[in-house]
C-alpha cells in the first residue's frame, strides 16, 4: 500500500458511500462524475482492495468499504475541524447565516449545537426558521436546511449526516395509572397520542399487522412540538425522536423491541452559495456536530 494518498480520495469515497452513486457524490462535492470515479479507482489501487461493486442501481459498498468507513469518517471529522479552525481565523467568516429546520430539530436538537458553534465562530450570527418548506432554499429565504427528506431539486446539494431514531414513550405518571405494555398488541389497550391528518403512525401500525383507526388515539395533532408536550403531560403513549425523549427523565421508553423506522437527516444547501465562506463554515460545523447529538 502507498502510504501517501491525499484527503480528496477519502472525501470522494465517503461521498460515494453516503450518496450511493458517483453522480450523487459529484453533486455533493461540486466535482465531475469522472473525477469522483478516478478518485475511487485510485484509492482502491493504493489500498489494494475493492470498495464498491458497480450495479444497475448504483454503487454497492463492499464489506471492506463498510469496515474502512469508520476510520474515514474520523479523518473527515478531523479535516472539518481543521477547516473550521482556519476559516474562523480568516477574514470574512462573519455575518448572518439563516438556517431552516423542522420544529423539533429547530427547538430541541439545534440549540446546544448552535451554542457550541457560537464559541467556534463568534462573528457569525444565526437566524433560525422552524419550517419544512423546500422553497426556503430555492427562493433564497434560507442558506442551510436540515430535513428528514432529501430534496430532488438539481440546484440543491444534500448530504446525509445521520438518522433520527424513534421510540415509544410515556410519562411515568401515565404508566403508574395505566400500567406498562409488555407486547406490541398491548398498545391497543392503552391511550395513544397520534396524528390528526398525517397517517404515518396509522401506516406503521398497519405494517406491524395491527390496523387501527384514528379513534384509537386519545389525542391527535400534527404539530410535532404539541405532540411531544402531550406525551410529557401524560396524555398517553406516543412515538417521538430519541433525542427529544432524552431531554426529560420523567418520559421513559416502552416496548424497545418495536420495529420503528429511522428518519435520515439531510444537510442541504443551495449549490451556488456553498462558495460563501461563512456559509461553508456553518455547513461544515453542522455536518460534524449534529451526528453526535442524534
Q: Tens of pLDDT along 57-68? A: 778 889 998 888
DSSP 47-70: HTS--EEEETTEEEE-HHHHHHHH
What percent of the chain is predicted at pLDDT more than 70? 89
pLDDT of residue 58: 77
pLDDT of residue 206: 85
DSSP class of 114: H
Place of cell 449545537: 113
Question: Has residue 145 got a pLDDT over 50?
Answer: yes
Strands 95-101 and 144-147: parallel
Of 48-57, 129-138, 258-267, give the lowest mean pLDDT range. 129-138
Candidates 292, 41, 286, 5; CA nearest to 142 is: 286
Phi/psi at 247 (5° precision)? -80, -10
Average pLDDT of the residues of the chain: 87
| Stretch 74-85: mean pLDDT | 65
pLDDT of residue 215: 86
| Stretch 250-258: mean pLDDT | 94
Which residues sit opposite 236 in a β-bridge? none
Question: Has residue 90 got a pLDDT over 70?
Answer: no
Distances (CA, A) of 73 to 67, 176, 275: 11, 44, 23
Write out the three cell numbers for 80. Answer: 472539518
Structure-model confidence comparison of residues 241 and 55, the more confident one: 241
Query: Using 50, 70 and 90 to split pLDDT, how confident is the model at 178?
Result: very high
Query: Using 50, 70 and 90 to split pLDDT, how confident is the model at 109?
Result: very high
pLDDT of residue 166: 94
For 213-236, what is each residue's pLDDT tens digit? 888 898 999 999 999 999 999 999
pLDDT of residue 208: 83
Write out the three cell numbers for 164. Answer: 433520527
Question: Has residue 80 got a pLDDT over 70?
Answer: no
Question: Has residue 88 got a pLDDT over 50?
Answer: no
Of 10-14, 80-84, 119-123, 190-194, give the lowest mean pLDDT range. 80-84
Question: Has residue 135 got a pLDDT over 70?
Answer: no
Annotate 259-285 with b (16+ C-beta within 10 A) or e (fewer). ebeebebbbbbbeebeebebbbbbbbb
| Stretch 9-26: mean pLDDT | 86
Q: Are 145 and 100 in contact (CB under 8 A)?
A: yes
Secondary structure of residue 147 in the 3-state scheme: strand
Amino acid at each position: 500500500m502507498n502510504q501517501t494518498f491525499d484527503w480528496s480520495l477519502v472525501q470522494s469515497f465517503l461521498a460515494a458511500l453516503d450518496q450511493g452513486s458517483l453522480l450523487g457524490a459529484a453533486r455533493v462535492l461540486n466535482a465531475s462524475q469522472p473525477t469522483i470515479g478516478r478518485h475511487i479507482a485510485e484509492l482502491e489501487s493504493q489500498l489494494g482492495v475493492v470498495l464498491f461493486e458497480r450495479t444497475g442501481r448504483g454503487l454497492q459498498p463492499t464489506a471492506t468499504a463498510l469496515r474502512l468507513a469508520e476510520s474515514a469518517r474520523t479523518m473527515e471529522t478531523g479535516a472539518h475541524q481543521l477547516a473550521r479552525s482556519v476559516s474562523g481565523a480568516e477574514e470574512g467568516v462573519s455575518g448572518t447565516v439563516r438556517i431552516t429546520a423542522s420544529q423539533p430539530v429547530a427547538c430541541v436538537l439545534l440549540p446546544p449545537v448552535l451554542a457550541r458553534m457560537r464559541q467556534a465562530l463568534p462573528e457569525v450570527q444565526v437566524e433560525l426558521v422552524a419550517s419544512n418548506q423546500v422553497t426556503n432554499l430555492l427562493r433564497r429565504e434560507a442558506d442551510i436546511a436540515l430535513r428528514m427528506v432529501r430534496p430532488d431539486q438539481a440546484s440543491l446539494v444534500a448530504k446525509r449526516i445521520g438518522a433520527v431514531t424513534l421510540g415509544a414513550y410515556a410519562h411515568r405518571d401515565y404508566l403508574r395509572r395505566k400500567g406498562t405494555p409488555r407486547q406490541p398488541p398491548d398498545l391497543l389497550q392503552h391511550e395513544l397520542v397520534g396524528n390528526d391528518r398525517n397517517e404515518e403512525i396509522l401506516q406503521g401500525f398497519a405494517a406491524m399487522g395491527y390496523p387501527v383507526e384514528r379513534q384509537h388515539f386519545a389525542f391527535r395533532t400534527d404539530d410535532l412540538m404539541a405532540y411531544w408536550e402531550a406525551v410529557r403531560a401524560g396524555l398517553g403513549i406516543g412515538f417521538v425522536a430519541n433525542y427529544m425523549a432524552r431531554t426529560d427523565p420523567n418520559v421513559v421508553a416502552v416496548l424497545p423491541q418495536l420495529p420503528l423506522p429511522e428518519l435520515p437527516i439531510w444537510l442541504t444547501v443551495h449549490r451556488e452559495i456553498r462558495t460563501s465562506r461563512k456559509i461553508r463554515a456553518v455547513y461544515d460545523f453542522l455536518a460534524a456536530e449534529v451526528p453526535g447529538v442524534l
